[in-house]
Amino acid sequence: MDKVQLEIERRKWCDRIPELYRNVFRRAMKGNSLRAAINAKCQDCCTWQRAEIKDCLVPCCPLYPYRPYQPKKDKTPHGLAEKAPNPLSVGTLENERP
């Protein structure tokens, strides 16, 4: 695909994106903002639904720890702190009582 055709395809794609998110896509496609690229990919993946990105159910996705709209305190590696059970609050077989 030559450069002109690539630009035509990008513009066509951009026209399908809700207007609110087009600038992020354009910034991403300029190629000098990884943040914009991650945000644009997550927005596309979740059909531009912020809540879906925030509550993403794919923790094995390489973008998961970097996705936008995460709760502020979810800063642990891989963003798994809120999803993993707290070992202090969950009984184990040894310490569970009937």
Residues forming contacts to ligand SF4 in the complex (CB under 6 A) are 41-42, 45-46, 53, 56, 58, 61, 63-64, 67
| Cβ burial 1-29 (10 Å sphere, 16+ → b, else e) | eeeeeeeeeeeeeeeebeeebeebbebbb
Which lies closer to ligand SF4 via its Cβ, residue 8 or residue 59? 59
Residue 22 Cβ, how far from ligand SF4 at the closest point, in Å? 18
Which lies closer to ligand SF4 via its Cβ, residue 8 or residue 78? 78
Q: What ranges in 1-75 are assigned the alpha helix state H?
A: 3-16, 19-30, 34-45, 50-54
Which lies closer to ligand SF4 via its Cβ, residue 51 or residue 93? 51
